[in-house]
Structures are given as structure tokens and as C-alpha cells.
Chain A
Amino acid sequence: MLLTYIIKRILWTIPFLFAVSIVAFALIQAPPGDYLTTFAATLAQSGDMVDQERLEALRTRYGLDQPFIVQYWKWISGVLVGDFGISFEWQQPVSNLIWERMALSLCLAVSTLLFTWAVAFPIGIYSAVRKYSIGDYLITTLGFLGLAMPNFLLALVLMYIGVVYFGADVGGLFSPEYQTAPWSWPKFVDLLKHIWIPVVILGTSSSAALIRIMRANLLDELNKPYVTTARAKGLSEFRLLLKYPVRLALNPFVSTIGWAFPQLISGAVITAFVLSLPTAGPLLLQALLAQDMYLAGAFILLLCTLTVVGMLVSDILLALLDPRIRYR
């Protein structure tokens, strides 16, 4: 039963991803001009110039003068065999550029998700159980602050404080000596030393949201008769809380996986930009700005795949967690 459900869901992703690839490619092509117009514009903006003949020659070589459908076919037929094409801006195969960044992005997203849960779960329960206490008000205030403050602003403020008062190096994910080093245990430790800053920054707003959701859901459950009955029967308060109402209130936590991945990766773009993180976001943004379409296309396709996978995982987890979904 569950297995057929999973297989069906996986099969559905294929036409979905196909549609996504067309939309993504069309959107990248939508702005006026192409990579070379942007290239010339960027250079002109900084007082540099490029030969017109060279632009025309490059346009022909890159096939940018061809109709949309031809360009799309060239791209997608390559993607099917694992060739993502070449990044115009970097003159490198796209596959050389994306994997490490996608991995770091994923790592950041998962860490942030775990951080969010670790913060939101106990605090959400606390503020529901101790409704309208001083602690609840305090958490609610902090939560709304976190929700209201844009991540990038928090990042800028933290960076400013770090630089001006502590002389700290707050940008990036690695210390200078590890930036180009191959992966090793010390490099991993170095990553842990740096990653907590973006994790906290990115985690604040989603934690705040989750705390509110947890609190609201739990409050609904706490007043239900079965809770009173269980309490009357002498079940310990802690066991009662975790075993029944919390379990029911947990659904939104699990469904966050589905949307948290794409949101964390795309929402992290500006924060990553400000903090100069070597993740996918800034490169994607730059690729879009430069209309470096194969690079941008590969990122968007991968992000969509991640979203689809995230949705799938969250649906499966929900089914496992909640019998009502499983037996429908």
C-alpha cells in the first residue's frame, strides 16, 4: 500500500520535472537580451569595453542566435545524459561548478532545519503549556522579532558588530587556510566553527514561525476532553503531553520538510550573498543576473528536484506518523 503510493509519487515527478525544465528555461530566457548583452553591459558599467565582432562571434558559437526550442532541445538532451552544458561566464562545464556548492547548500539547509526543530519543539511546547506566563510573553516577543527581521539585515548587523567590536572574520564558511584544502577532519571542524552563524541567522525566522504553529496546534489539543480524561486517570503530565497532544501537533513539523528545503535554499540567497557563503544561492543569483542560462538552468532544475524529493519525504513521514493519512 505504502510502496505503491511511493512508486506512484516517484513516477509523477518525471512529467513534473519536465514541465519545470521548460518553465525554468523559458523564464531564464524571458528578460530582454542574452548573456552577451549582459556581459557587454557589465563591462561597460565598470568602464570596460568589449569588441562587437567578438560578441557576435560568441553569440554564434554559443548558439544564442538560435530559436528557443532549438536551444532548449540542445540543453535538455544534454542534461538527460548528465551533460549540463557550459557556463558562459566561467568557460567551464556547469557540472564542475555546481556539485560542491549544492552539497554545501544542502548541508546548510539540513543544519538549519535541525536547528529550527531543536529550538522550536521545546519552546513551542513550553509556551503552549505555560500559556500567558512571563516566559510565554518573552518567547512570543522574541519570536515576532525574529519573524519580522529580514535575515540579511540580521546578517549585516551581526557582521558589523563582529567586525567593529571583535575584529572577527564573519564571512564565508571556511578559514583562509582551509578554503582550497581538500576535505579532511580539521576542515570539517573548521566548517562547524563557521556554519553556526548562518544557521542561527537563517533559523531565527523559521523557528519563530514554527514556535507559533506548535503553540497554536498544541493549545487546540490541550483543551480536548481526551486530555482531561487522561489527566483524570492519573497519567503523569509529561507522558500525557508527549504521547498524545504533541504527537498530533507534530504534523506541521513534518510537513515543513517539503517546503523548508526550497525556502532555505532560495531564501538563503541574500543572506549567503551578504555573508559571502560559498553555497549555491549567490552563484545562482549571479547566473541569473548574467543570464548565464545553462548554469542557472542546472541550479533551478536541481532545486526543483530537491523540492520534489522533500515533498515526497515529508509525505512518507506524515503517512508513517499519522495513521489517519496512512489508511485513507
Chain B
Amino acid sequence: MKNLIALFTMGLVLPAAAMAADYAQSPTLDAAVENDTLPPVAERLPQVPEVIEPYESIGQYGGVIRRALAGSNDHNNILRIVGPQGLTRWNADWTEPLPNVAEGWEVEDEGRSFVFRLRPGMRWSDGHPFTADDILFNVEDLMLNPDFGPVPSRYVIAGEPMSVEKIDDLTVRFTFAAPFGSFPAELASPRGQHPVLHPKHYCSQFHGGYVENINALLQQEGVSDWPTLFQNKCGDIEIPARWGNAEKPTLDPWVIAEPYTGGATRVVLERNPYFWQVDTAGNQLPYIDRVENIVLRDVQAVILEAIAGRIDLQARHIDNPADRPVLAENREAGGYDFYETYATGGTLLLLQPNLTHKDPELNEVFNQKDFRVALSLGMDRQAVIDIALLGQGEPWQYGPYEGSPLYHERMATQFLDYDPARANELLDGLGYTERDAEGYRLLPSGRRLSFQVDVIPVLFAEAVDMLELISAQWQELGVEMQINSLERSFFFERVSSNWDHDWAVWPAAMGWQQGTLLQEMVPIWMGARYGIGWWHWFQSNGANGVEPPDHVKRRFELNEASRAAVTFEEYRAAVHEMADIAAEQFEIIGTSTDLPRYGIVSTRLRNVPLSMPASFDYPTPAPTLPQQYYFAE
């Protein structure tokens, strides 16, 4: 009914005030509206707000969501509840990008340009209008401004950064040098929020190009350059300072009231009175008044808070399978229940040989496909799963799971059978038939066929257990794998900044959705530990690193093609061609599907789906729209 009325009003072009009666607001804002410190709700909302269909039921206003942050560096935990309010967002199933801050978009010129329409009358959280000028400020004055920093790689296509033009106050066109069909998907990622991150009217006062006497301001603030000042005041994607300034207007459902700074023991967000979404009954979202995040240093303290019933919604820091029993035991006393988060693909533990190894002999060994196949066949995955993972998980190489439209059978399931006889045959066939006194095979130079696998033991508890079992199984093949436990930054120094490792392991729960990095198939990121040398070559345009073979270069092209794809079918085709090559090469070895994970949710909290994808690219639980969660009486 409300929708009908809205349609009519639009059709008759009645003044916005006529709609005032149709929208409801939180009672906490009534007083402010009555004494004229806040305009009425209809004037705060866009002329046509986005209508959100609640997950189960229309909610009621009020309440506080209590959560916990673990120390510093947990800024993305705030992002996960507030949501990356970019031009687009992912749907709850993580299958297609939807309009978000933008009202909609059109693709032009076969995916070379995108015209985004904004919502008339939409406002920042301080009431200032949100227009095309804000987008131009973000793109031209920040993203494309070399003084501020390099252009983020997701806005670079065919070596050219994107350009932007203002068509009118509410319409902008982004143009690329080549087709970039994944653009709307990239914008839905937490790392794609750049075009609408900063309000021009507020943040331009810290911008070197806008402030006349910037040096006086820098001196006063005690920083050396304006980009530092800008990040201090307005923050940036992926730094804590993003939540460190309560004065910065945003487009988020809740805005910072008590900021996340170095000394903070609590971070509080309060409702944005100008938030631009309503439910199907015309109630302005969010339903919930406040989000209170207590900052705890110790992860055990987070669990203690949870079982004491002082946490309403949390997955991060407590989703370790080992913590589940204690949480389950105190479920009733703590007044919470579990919700499931699931990976859409990938493997819990990915073993990656360094195919760009600096030692010529090991390089040759690792680069033989039969060697890698032998190791995969010589791994008794079911035993590893039964012992180290308590039977959770299934043998799996990597890639999306069966339900996904991107599922690639060969990639996921080849060489999974445990066949030590065949594995030994393959190794014999490679000529490593001599053995030493302990039964290990010898290389032609006379040294033992032995390598180290680099692992960060604190990253997840099961990794070392799994590796120990695998190491014992490979010993049966006459291959020695030594486990090399490393401190975190040393690991990165060795296996990402450089390629000094023999093998390395890392969790790789990837479902290949548009906008995610397909690094297990193509070395375009630091997680591609089978080809870090190739990655360095790729990102330095051939200046550093190791030149990759043709099949890798072909995958670089296909990766570009996947980004260019306008339709899902084109995307799938490019990705699957890449997967065909990667499956043929069989560079890396998977173990088990990802473990089922969980979060806890207060039994009073409604409209929370009990199952949702788990990923930072998604990012959980933001696309399920926490602004439409509410507390039942």
C-alpha cells in the first residue's frame, strides 16, 4: 500500500512534503524533530528512498547491538556490521551486485563505460546533500591524484586508470580504456567503496588542493603532509582511522559517536538520522539505535563476554571450532544461539610448492607435474580429516563447491584418491629411485629429496596437525617434508615480499565470485605462493621477479578477460578456461573443504539469516543488511 502511495505521489509530482505522513522514524528522533533541530523524516530521506524488504518481518525501533573488537587493527570488524556503503552491494546470496548508494546504472559501449544515477534528495549523515560532486571529489581529487597515492589497481584496466565525468548533479559516467564488466561487482567489495567514501563538503577542508594555507593547518595539527592529515581526519579504506573521527559524515546506517582511537576501550555508533533506506512499511532504517563495540585485548575475554550474555552478534574471534563447545555449553545462560557461516569454495589448507624456487635442483623437482601428482595421490586426505579435523570436511583440491554455478569438477576433484602405489610409480618414473639409509629418495646430486613447508602456527590451530600427518604419509613415499613454523611477519617477508621458501601453506577458502582475486589460479596476488616470483614479474611489468611460462601468461590474459566480462556467462567462460589450464598444470595441492564456521546471535535479535556466506569480499554479515535486524520484546 505504501508503495502504491509512493508511486502515485511520484506520478503526480506532488511536493515531497505530501509524503511526510507516509514515513515513520525512530521515536528517539521525535524530540529533535519537534524542537526543530532535525528536519522531519520525509525531508531527511531521498525523494525515493530504497525500500528494503525485511528478511522475516517488519521490525520495531530500539535497542543496542553489543559486540566486541579485539584490540587494535580490528577496524574491519566495524565495517562488517556497518557495511561497505558503496555504489553497489552484494545480494544476500552473493550472486549478483545490486544498486546501493546509486539508484541504478547502465552499461555503455560494451562495458567500457558505466552511467550511475544517484538518488535525488539523498543526504550525508550531517544533512548535507550527496551529489555527483562528491563522486568527482573522490575520484579526481583523491583516487587519481598522484600526491594522494597510486590509483588502486581495481580501477585500472588495460594499464589505464578510469576517468569520470559529471553528466548532471545526480548522474556520473565512469569510463575505462577497455571493457570492465566486473566493475559493478568490484564496487560492491569492501575495497571498492572509494568513489563514495568521502564527503566533499567536509573532507575538502583537509585537502592540499582545496585549502589555501595548508602549511599552517599542517603545523597546527602536527603532521608533515596533507595526505597524512587527510587520512587522520577522514580515514581510508582498511585503516582504523576510518572510524576515528566522529565528525566525519558518512552514508552508513550508524555513524561513529565514540571513535576508534589508540586509547579507546569502547567504540559506539549511533543511528544516522539521514539514512536512505526504509522498510516496506515506510519505517526509516536502521531499526536498532546503537552499536556498542567493547574493545578487548584478549580473545579469551571475548568468549568470556559472550558466555556472560554481553554480546548480541559476533562471529569474528570466536569462530574457531575449538571454542564452539564452551560457547554451546553456555548458550542458554548467555541468551544466544548459533548462526552458520559457510565458505563458497576452496580448501582449508592449501599446499603450495615454490615453482620459482631459486635453487635450480629443487626448482626442477617442483616443476615436474608428476612429482606434484604423486604427492597428491600419496596423501590420505580422509585420515587427515578424521584425525586432525574430527571428521569435519571432505577431501577437496580447490575451487567452488558443487552448488556454485562456477563449480569446476576437474579442478576440485582430480588426484584425490589415496593411491600410494601409483604415487611411488610416478616418483620412480622421475628417476628418483636411489634411497638413503633412512629410506628417503635421493636427487641426482646425491642430496635427499627433502623440503621445508613454511607455516604460521598461530594462524589456525589445525594447520600443524594436518601437516604432521601429511608429512608422515609422504615419508612412506620416500619424500621428506619438514615443518617450518614461522612468526607472522617473517613468513610474509620470506614468502610474499620474497620467494625464499620451498613450500608454504595458507587457508584458501575462495568461491571465485566476480570481484574476488583468483590467486590460486593466476599469480596476481601475494597469496599465490606457488608463483611469487611470477607475481613480482607481473606487478613490476617485467622489471623484477621471474618471467613466467606461456601458460601463466595466458592466464594473466584470461584474468583480464574475466574482469572485462559484462555478463556472467562471459565471466564464467573466462574463469573456466583459466581453471582448465590451472587444472592441467596442477600447481598446488588442496586438502579438505573448509570447516563449517559459525557466529553467535542473541535469541532476541530478529531478521538475521541463520546461514550466510563467510568472506571479507562479501563481507559477512553486511549484505544481509544489519540495518533491518531488530530486537523482539
Contact = CB atoms under 8 A, between A and B. Distances in A.
Interface of A: 31-33, 37-54, 56-58, 61, 83, 86-87, 89-93, 95-97, 100-101, 156, 159-160, 163-164, 167, 169, 171-172, 174, 176, 179-180, 272-274, 276, 278, 282-283, 286, 290-291, 295
Given A47-B616, A164-B308, A282-B71, 20 more contacts: A32-B494, A33-B490, A33-B493, A37-B497, A38-B492, A40-B526, A42-B73, A46-B76, A48-B76, A54-B152, A86-B223, A89-B72, A89-B262, A90-B72, A97-B262, A100-B263, A101-B263, A159-B301, A163-B308, A276-B296
A148 B457 CA distance: 29
Interface string B283-297: 000000000001111
A46 B616 contact: yes
A167 B308 contact: yes
Interface stretch (B22-30, B32-40, B232-240, B436-444): B232-240
Given A43-B238, A61-B225, A89 B244 contact: no
Nearest to B146: A57
Nearest to A31: B489
20 contacts: A31-B489, A31-B490, A33-B490, A41-B489, A42-B73, A45-B456, A48-B190, A49-B191, A53-B149, A54-B149, A90-B241, A91-B240, A92-B232, A92-B261, A156-B300, A163-B305, A276-B295, A278-B263, A290-B72, A291-B489
B551 to A, nearest CB: 23
A87 B150 contact: no
A32 B152 contact: no
Given A32-B489, A97-B261, A47 B615 contact: yes
Interface residues of B, number: 65
Contact of A278 (B76, B153, B265): B265
A92 B262 contact: yes
Interface in B44-80: 71-73, 76
A86 B223 CA distance: 7
Contacts of B72: 89-90, 283, 286, 290
Contact of B616 (A38, A48, A92): A48
A51 B153 contact: yes
Contacts of A95: 222
Contact of B526 (A42, A52, A171): A52
The binding surface of chain B is classed by DSSP as loop
Contacts of A169: 310
A150 to B, nearest CB: 14
A32 B490 CA distance: 6
Interface in B146-198: 149-153, 190-191
B116 interface: no
A40 B492 contact: yes
B358 to A, nearest CB: 18
Interface in B343-400: none
B492 A87 contact: no
Most chain A CB within 10 A, of B76, B262, B456, is at B262
A89 B222 contact: no
Nearest to B316: A46
Contacts of B493: 32-33, 37
